[in-house]
Structure 1
Amino acid sequence: MDSNDDKSMDMQLISKLFFSKQPINIITDYLRDHIQELSSDETQEQLLNATIGHKLMNKYPLSLKYRQLFAKKVIQLLESEDFTICDTFYILNGHLLSQSMDTIKNNYNFNYLNYVLTSGQIVSLQESNNLVIDGTTGLTTWSAAKHLAYFIECNPHIVKNKNIVELGSGVGMTGICVLKTCYPHSYTFSDHHPLVLQVLQNNIDINNCGQNWRISNIDWFDPYSVDNYLNANDPDIIIASDVTYDPQVIGYLCDVLNKLLKSCHKRRK
């Protein structure tokens, strides 16, 4: 590290590490040793041109997952230093994420399903017939979500004018139903898998759900993600349906619920 402090960042070395798919932490450790150089838009652009924005990635691209993870980790590194991130970084990152969506649509049997609510309104959802995709079960509507949506629609007084957070929103069936029929004060959809979040955003958009909603990336394994949500939100009601089948996850889910319930309790005092 000491020897690196006296040298400017070596973009050729970074390209060599990136092109050979070296562990990303090796690259980010190197970047951290030269972190002040990355405060400038010019150096950030050079880094992009040496890695995910290199012309070689158009002709012979590395795996999409590796490129996405690289972009994510570098953005996190820059944000941790409170650096202004150049627009090109966000544009390229968005392009990588959109490629994920295209891959899913082409390879995982995606289509639209239309659900008729008790009110006669229709909820149209983009989802997959596959129960598990890329390690997540959140890209299809499960029966419990339909039953929960029906229960809330039949009992709108429970959620009317309330601030609601939903855990494991998946493709959005329950939340979209609530927004279209029950008039909550605010509704927070939450999930963590990036592909689920993309599909969820699309489904909310196509169903014209108004303005009183948001999507929050709540990772049950990261307590800080719950804290970040609670720093800006005070939920009245927590809802969830069919959110896990893995017993090893239950403890983490309980920790999330404990934090959220404590916040609800304070709000009611």
Structure 2
Amino acid sequence: MDNKYSKLQQQFLCCYPVNKMAWSTLHLPLQLEEQKQLIAATCGHALNQRYPVRRSYQEAFVKRLLQLLKDHEELHDDIYDSLCGQLAKATLSERESADAAQVYAYKHYLLPTPMTLRESKSFVIEGTTGLCTWEAALALADYLLEHPSLVQNKNVLELGAGTGLLGILLKQRSLQLQVGQVLLTDGSDACVQLMRENIKLNFAEEPLDFPLCAQLNWAQISEFNWQAYAAFDLLLAADVIYDDTQFEALLSAMEYIFERHENNLQMLLASTVRNVDTLHNFMQQLALHGFEATPCANVSACASHFCRDHTAAVQIVSIKRKS
């Protein structure tokens, strides 16, 4: 199959908002064979067949496609089959794990090696927001891919790693980023369990070099088993400062980690700008704790490796200890 539907395919597999998809790339009217190819590239894609994206998303995609094709005299049966299949789907495996099927689904990112993540369908579940990938993590992933020297031969620690996207990305062999040890941490046990599942999804053959993950409570950071891991050169965090009640614990954790590494450490922090006052407050607190933050340029939409909503403002800063 040619790649004339590659953009829609990429967007579909990572659940990009249906109303913002590249529908203009379709050259209407679509012949029956073209309709078949489009469905094969999206709903029928092998990744979606094995690890399906949210059922509600697939329904919305097909319904939008039907709207676009409403004036066509003929519609391919595969379109109706995709819609009816989603509406009526109730396989034995889903019945056996009904709760999990309702709570979790998959997203796929078509990098040189496709990356698959199992995620929560809800923003908040099990008392945490970390069970789905947030915009800031994608923005930071883009930034690292555009500046590979930042991670080359570096040992990386991520705070609030959530689904594990960044660490899994850094260890993708096809990207050849030559990163050292990668440790993904989160305070939520549910997030750590999900990270372990996602690591297995993407490193099925259990290679010698894959991301590690562990539970790390910022308020009890001195009790963590640091001796079990390499000394870190780079600290990452994405979307961890949306709640100002966590500032004190995060800043204390950062101070501990920096001091443990004799302040010879850099941190990259990516934050979706939801509340300007909250972000400004954190930057002030950073300065009071002896940190210096330098803004980093975001990766442009045309250079992005991901289908993400670039209308959502994300700020990336490089943080170091004041000399």
TM range (shorter): 0.5 to 0.7
Give the whole-Å Cα distance in 1 for the aligned partners of 2:248 and 2:227. Answer: 20
In the alignment, is residue 251 of structure 1 matched against residue 243 of structure 2?
no
**Identity across matched positions, percent:** 28
Q: Is the Cα–Cα contact under 8 Å of residues 216 and 229 in structure 1 kept in the other structure? A: no
Residue among 207, 214, 217 paired with 1:216: 214
Q: Which digits, 9 at most, give the CA deviation of each residue in 1:125-152, with x for residues without a partner?
A: 0002200001100000001101111111
1:266 Cα deviation from its structure 2 partner: 5.9
Q: Equivalent residues in 2 for 1:163-182 (5 A)?
A: 163-180=155-172, 181=175, 182=177
Residue among 121, 142, 149 paired with 1:157: 149
Q: Equivalent residues in 2 for 1:30-179 (5 A)?
A: 105-108=100-103, 110-117=104-111, 120-179=112-171
Which protein has greater RCO, CA pairs closer than 8 Å, 6+ apart? 2
Give the whole-Å Cα distance in 2 for the aligned partners of 1:192 and 1:178. Answer: 21
Gapped regions of structure 1 (runs ≥ 5): 1-101
> Normalization by structure 1: what TM-score?
0.56
The alignment covers a number of residue pairs equal to: 163
Q: Is the Cα–Cα contact under 8 Å of residues 155 and 182 in structure 2 kept in the other structure? A: yes
> Normalization by structure 2: what TM-score?
0.47
Secondary structure of the corresponding residue to residue 140 of structure 1: coil
Cα–Cα, structure 1 residues 115 and 132, in superposed 2: closer, same or farther, change >3 Å? same
In the alignment, is residue 262 of structure 1 matched against residue 254 of structure 2?
no
Give every structure 1 segment of 4 or more consecutive aligned residues whose post-TM-superposition deviation is greater than 4 Å. Answer: none
Secondary structure of the corresponding residue to residue 265 of structure 1: coil
1:264 Cα deviation from its structure 2 partner: 2.9
Match of 1:201 in 2: 196
Comparing both structures, which one devotes a greater share of its residues to helix? 1
Gapped regions of structure 2 (runs ≥ 5): 1-96, 266-323
Q: Is the Cα–Cα contact under 8 Å of residues 218 and 225 in structure 1 kept in the other structure? A: no
Q: Is the Cα–Cα contact under 8 Å of residues 217 and 225 in structure 1 kept in the other structure? A: no
Q: Is the Cα–Cα contact under 8 Å of residues 189 and 214 in structure 1 kept in the other structure? A: yes
Q: Is the Cα–Cα contact under 8 Å of residues 162 and 186 in structure 1 kept in the other structure? A: yes
Secondary structure of the corresponding residue to residue 152 of structure 1: helix
